[in-house]
Protein backbone atom coordinates (compact mmCIF):
# COMPACT_ATOMS: atom_id res chain seq x y z
CA UNK A 1 0.00 0.00 0.00
CA UNK A 2 1.36 3.41 -1.00
CA UNK A 3 1.57 6.07 1.78
CA UNK A 4 -0.72 9.10 1.48
CA UNK A 5 2.21 11.47 1.83
CA UNK A 6 5.62 10.88 0.31
CA UNK A 7 8.43 11.92 2.64
CA UNK A 8 11.21 13.79 0.90
CA UNK A 9 14.84 13.41 1.92
CA UNK A 10 18.10 15.24 1.33
CA UNK A 11 18.07 18.48 -0.63
CA UNK A 12 14.48 17.89 -1.74
CA UNK A 13 13.39 17.92 1.89
CA UNK A 14 15.39 21.10 2.56
CA UNK A 15 13.77 22.96 -0.36
CA UNK A 16 10.30 21.68 0.51
CA UNK A 17 10.73 22.80 4.13
CA UNK A 18 11.94 26.21 2.96
CA UNK A 19 8.82 26.48 0.81
CA UNK A 20 6.60 25.60 3.76
CA UNK A 21 8.36 28.22 5.89
CA UNK A 22 7.87 30.84 3.18
CA UNK A 23 4.19 29.89 3.06
CA UNK A 24 3.99 30.33 6.83
CA UNK A 25 5.61 33.76 6.58
CA UNK A 26 3.18 34.77 3.80
CA UNK A 27 0.28 33.71 6.02
CA UNK A 28 1.67 35.44 9.09
CA UNK A 29 2.32 38.74 7.32
CA UNK A 30 -1.46 38.99 6.86
CA UNK A 31 -1.81 39.32 10.65
CA UNK A 32 -1.91 42.92 11.90
CA UNK A 33 -0.24 41.88 15.17
CA UNK A 34 2.73 40.41 13.31
CA UNK A 35 3.12 43.51 11.15
CA UNK A 36 3.10 45.62 14.32
CA UNK A 37 5.74 43.33 15.84
CA UNK A 38 7.90 43.73 12.73
CA UNK A 39 7.61 47.51 13.12
CA UNK A 40 8.49 47.18 16.83
CA UNK A 41 11.56 45.16 15.78
CA UNK A 42 12.70 47.71 13.19
CA UNK A 43 12.25 50.66 15.57
CA UNK A 44 14.02 48.74 18.33
CA UNK A 45 17.06 47.97 16.18
CA UNK A 46 17.25 51.63 15.10
CA UNK A 47 17.04 52.76 18.74
CA UNK A 48 19.67 50.25 19.83
CA UNK A 49 22.02 51.38 17.07
CA UNK A 50 21.42 55.05 17.91
CA UNK A 51 22.45 54.59 21.57
CA UNK A 52 25.55 52.58 20.65
CA UNK A 53 24.41 49.10 21.64
CA UNK A 54 27.10 46.43 21.43
CA UNK A 55 27.03 43.61 18.92
CA UNK A 56 26.09 41.25 21.76
CA UNK A 57 23.13 43.43 22.73
CA UNK A 58 21.98 43.61 19.12
CA UNK A 59 22.20 39.83 18.80
CA UNK A 60 20.20 39.33 22.00
CA UNK A 61 17.53 41.67 20.63
CA UNK A 62 17.41 39.77 17.32
CA UNK A 63 17.10 36.41 19.13
CA UNK A 64 14.34 37.76 21.39
CA UNK A 65 12.41 39.10 18.41
CA UNK A 66 12.85 35.85 16.48
CA UNK A 67 11.37 34.06 19.50
CA UNK A 68 8.51 36.60 19.51
CA UNK A 69 7.85 35.93 15.81
CA UNK A 70 7.89 32.17 16.44
CA UNK A 71 5.43 32.49 19.34
CA UNK A 72 3.20 34.74 17.20
CA UNK A 73 3.25 32.11 14.44
CA UNK A 74 2.30 29.38 16.92
CA UNK A 75 -0.45 31.57 18.36
CA UNK A 76 -1.84 32.16 14.87
CA UNK A 77 -1.67 28.42 14.17
CA UNK A 78 -3.59 27.69 17.39
CA UNK A 79 -6.25 30.24 16.45
CA UNK A 80 -6.63 28.77 12.96
CA UNK A 81 -6.93 25.21 14.24
CA UNK A 82 -9.45 26.20 16.92
CA UNK A 83 -11.52 28.16 14.41
CA UNK A 84 -11.48 25.16 12.03
CA UNK A 85 -12.37 22.40 14.48
CA UNK A 86 -14.58 24.44 16.79
CA UNK A 87 -16.20 27.36 14.95
CA UNK A 88 -18.71 27.80 17.79
CA UNK A 89 -17.61 29.50 20.99
CA UNK A 90 -16.31 26.95 23.47
CA UNK A 91 -14.43 27.35 26.73
CA UNK A 92 -11.69 24.95 25.58
CA UNK A 93 -11.20 26.99 22.40
CA UNK A 94 -11.26 30.26 24.34
CA UNK A 95 -8.68 28.93 26.81
CA UNK A 96 -6.39 27.77 23.98
CA UNK A 97 -6.59 31.16 22.29
CA UNK A 98 -6.11 33.02 25.57
CA UNK A 99 -3.04 30.93 26.42
CA UNK A 100 -1.53 31.62 22.99
CA UNK A 101 -2.19 35.32 23.46
CA UNK A 102 -0.55 35.23 26.89
CA UNK A 103 2.54 33.57 25.39
CA UNK A 104 2.81 36.44 22.88
CA UNK A 105 2.37 38.98 25.69
CA UNK A 106 5.21 37.34 27.65
CA UNK A 107 7.53 37.60 24.64
CA UNK A 108 6.52 41.23 24.04
CA UNK A 109 7.32 41.95 27.69
CA UNK A 110 10.70 40.20 27.39
CA UNK A 111 11.58 42.27 24.32
CA UNK A 112 10.37 45.48 25.96
CA UNK A 113 12.22 44.87 29.21
CA UNK A 114 15.44 44.10 27.40
CA UNK A 115 15.10 47.24 25.30
CA UNK A 116 14.32 49.47 28.28
CA UNK A 117 17.26 48.07 30.23
CA UNK A 118 19.72 48.26 27.34
CA UNK A 119 18.69 51.69 26.06
CA UNK A 120 18.50 53.03 29.62
CA UNK A 121 21.96 51.68 30.39
CA UNK A 122 23.46 53.36 27.34
CA UNK A 123 21.69 56.67 27.96
CA UNK A 124 22.57 56.83 31.66
CA UNK A 125 26.04 55.29 31.63
CA UNK A 126 26.87 55.82 27.97
CA dist., res. 37 & res. 44, Å (int): 10
CA dist., res. 90 & res. 5, Å (int): 32
CA dist., res. 68 & res. 38, Å (int): 10
72 is catalytic: yes
CA dist., res. 70 & res. 98, Å (int): 17
Cβ neighbours of 74 (radius 10 Å): 13
Point out the catalytic residue in the list 37, 57, 72, 88.
Answer: 72
CA dist., res. 100 & res. 102, Å (int): 5
Cite the active site residues.
72
Amino acid sequence: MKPAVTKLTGFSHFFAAAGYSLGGFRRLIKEAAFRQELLFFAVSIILLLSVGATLSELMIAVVLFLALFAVEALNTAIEEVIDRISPEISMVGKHAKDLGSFAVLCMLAACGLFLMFTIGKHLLLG
